[in-house]
Amino acid sequence: MRVIVVGAGVVGTMHAWHAVERGHEVVQIEREAEARGASLRNFGLVWVSGRAGGEELQASLRARELWEAVGSRVPDLGFRAGGSLTPVRDAHERAVAEAALARPDAAARGYKLLTAEEARALNPALRGDFEAALYCERDAAVEPRTAQRALRAALAASPNYTFLPGREVRDVVGEHAVRDDHGDVHRGGAVVLCTGAWLSGLVRELAGPDLPVRRVRLQMMQTDPLGEPLTTSVADADSFRYYPAYRGPALDRLNAEQPQPATAAAHRMQLLMTQRADGGLTIGDTHEYEHPFPFDTLDDPYDHLSRVAEGFLGRPLPRVRRRWAGVYAQCTEPDRVVYRRRLREGVWLVTGPGGRGMTCAPAIAERTADELGW
């Protein structure tokens, strides 16, 4: 089969990967010179710990297996199986961590509640004050700024793969074919539109105005090298408020008796922190849902994130060298990992994984391939 993949973000590139792996010819079309959206502007986290039970957790665990397998073949992907720590500082936060340990799927996630001393033995960079930490062994990371480039370089070794950058797909031509803005028509046995947060234009024409996918904006930053390894990814207890795995009476009590600081609440914040290959730290993030999004970045969220991160590290952060905003697509239908829909015969739209894109992309693409009979 000839498969046409539109979009070179992580979801599109993983669709191309699975198609080539199954012996198909792939043409991947990207409107930019290379992907520049949410697939690069994220933590690179393969984040199992907070996922909802059921299909979402199964997708993230399967994706974690696939990322490790692909990483063994593509070293430049920068796959690291470091796990994560969420330090807790008081009884309310600890109660949420203990409730997570009581989940029936806790073992599948690799949950353990560590003492502060055990957490520091695992991640010596955490010299700040906290009383315990929830450990998730299955969390991992890749390098987001270079991952798509590394995957495409590996794909390019196959004679069955063609990458066409700088071309915007403008129209679906009948069945199984698209026309780009160069006037070229690309035909195949299947067309998969992995357009990310680009939900206007062709996507709106094909899917209609009631597409259950929204755009979400976030702010993040990156520091100079820390000067020592951060051996795990790190989250704060505000991540309990954000991720569905932690919902329940213990979280309700935390929210009622220990509300977020005003800045964190206003920007729907959590701390996530992971180390890049060069030693710098990627730190975030915020969540903005109301359109139109602001065109500028705000300093208050960065100040809050810096204070929380420094509290865990017990030292000042290195100089912040990059700040950025990103936008991703999130399906608004509950209990769906991604929005996958046949728009017409042979043409599929796959978008809206939300903040799960980097985590779940390999499993999302694998399921598409299975459903389409590749």
Q: Residue 165: its pLDDT value, please?
A: 97
Place of tokens 């109660």: 95
- pLDDT tens string 144-177: 999 999 999 999 999 999 999 999 999 999 889 9
Q: Give the rounded percent of residues in the chain with a pLDDT score beyond 90.
A: 97
Characterize the bridge pairing of strands 185-187 and 177-180: antiparallel
Evaluate if residue 67 carries a pLDDT over 90.
yes
Place of tokens 């809206």: 352
| Contacts of residue 107, Cβ cutoff 8 Å, sequence gap at least 6 | none
Evaluate if residue 198 carries a pLDDT over 90.
yes
Q: How far apart are CA 95 and CA 252, in angstroms?
A: 11
- What are the structural domains of the chain? 1-83+139-212+333-374 (3.50.50.60), 94-137+214-331 (3.30.9.10)
Under a CB-based contact definition with an 8 Å cutoff, are residues 149 and 51 in contact? no
Q: How far apart are CA 198 and CA 185, in angstroms?
A: 21
The whole-chain average pLDDT of the chain stands at 96
Evaluate if residue 106 carries a pLDDT over 90.
yes
Under a CB-based contact definition with an 8 Å cutoff, are residues 238 and 254 in contact? no
Evaluate if residue 232 carries a pLDDT over 90.
yes
- pLDDT tens string 304-314: 999 999 999 99
Peptide bond before residue 292 is cis, with ω within 30 degrees of 0: yes
Q: Residue 88: its pLDDT value, please?
A: 98
Helices (H), the chain: 10-21, 55-73, 91-101, 106-109, 116-122, 144-155, 202-207, 238-242, 249-257, 262-266, 299-313, 357-371
Q: How far apart are CA 7 and CA 16, in angstroms?
A: 10
- Where b means 16+ CB within 10 Å and e means fewer, 72-104 reads eebebbbbbebbbbbbbbeebbbbbbebbeebe
Report the 10 Å Cβ neighbour count for 216. 19
DSSP string, 65-134: HHHHHHHHH-GGG--B---EEEEE-SHHHHHHHHHHHTSTTHHHHTEEEEEHHHHHHH-TT--S--SEEE
* pLDDT-based confidence at residue 59 (cuts at 50, 70, 90): very high
Question: Average pLDDT of 247-270?
Answer: 97
Whether the full predicted model's pTM is greater than 0.75, yes or no, is yes
Specify the amino acid at residue 278.
D
Angle between helices 357-371 and 10-21 (to 10 degrees): 40
For residue 323, the SS3 value is strand
Q: Residue 174: its pLDDT value, please?
A: 85
Q: Residue 71: its pLDDT value, please?
A: 97
Q: Residue 175: its pLDDT value, please?
A: 84
Any idea what the Cα angle at residue 130 is, between residues 127 and 133, rounded to 5°? 100
Q: Residue 334: its pLDDT value, please?
A: 86
Characterize the bridge pairing of strands 177-180 and 140-141: unpaired
| Contacts of residue 131, Cβ cutoff 8 Å, sequence gap at least 6 | 88, 89, 90, 94, 116
Q: Residue 70: its pLDDT value, please?
A: 98
* pLDDT-based confidence at residue 243 (cuts at 50, 70, 90): very high
Q: How far apart are CA 199 and CA 211, in angstroms?
A: 9
Q: Residue 169: its pLDDT value, please?
A: 97
Under a CB-based contact definition with an 8 Å cutoff, are residues 27 and 4 in contact? yes
